[in-house]
Amino acid sequence: MKSESKNLFSLSKIPSNKAKREAPVETVAVGATETEREFIEAAKTHTVPRAQPEPDFRSLDPEERPTRGINLRFNDYELGMLRYLAKVDDRSLQQTIKRLLMPAAHRAADDAAQHHGGTGKGRSTA
């Protein structure tokens, strides 16, 4: 019995993924998009093409319809407070968070512009 349990946990029994790692790039690239093929080619030399830089927020339209989202983590206290505020305002949680966050973000952008030069165009709406 003891020797059987020892064999169950033997590292020599674990299959190797070496064959999967050494698949020719040409095989992997079949059906890949142009961007994926560029990435695969760059991976051969251990370089990755640089991502396009994000545009400066000041050049974007602040009235544009929101199409992007992010994941925010809150503890129970923070989430409870936000849910309470949403209920009191009769708004969705997302609307409440955005209503609270954006004026603070505009003020922070304005402050950063003053300290680092340039114009923040943060549209303070306090």
Kindly give, in sequence order, each residue whose CB lies less than 8 Å from that of residue 53, ignoring residues fewer than 6 positions away: none
In this prediction, residue 79 carries a pLDDT of 97
Each residue of 11-62: pLDDT tens digit? 555 555 555 555 555 556 677 788 888 877 777 777 666 777 888 888 999 9
Return the domain boundaries, the chain.
2-44, 70-126
Task: Look up residue 126 and give its two tokens.
Answer: 């306090």
pLDDT score at 108? 95
The count of C-alpha atoms lying within 13 angstroms of the C-alpha of 33, restricted to the half-sphere facing its C-beta, is: 2
User: pTM above 0.75?
Assistant: no
Task: Tell which residue, 107, 53, 99, has the closest CA to residue 120.
Answer: 107
Tell me the three state secondary structure of residue 2. helix
CA triplet 33, 53, 28: central angle to 5 degrees?
Answer: 20
Tokens found for residue 31: 């059906």
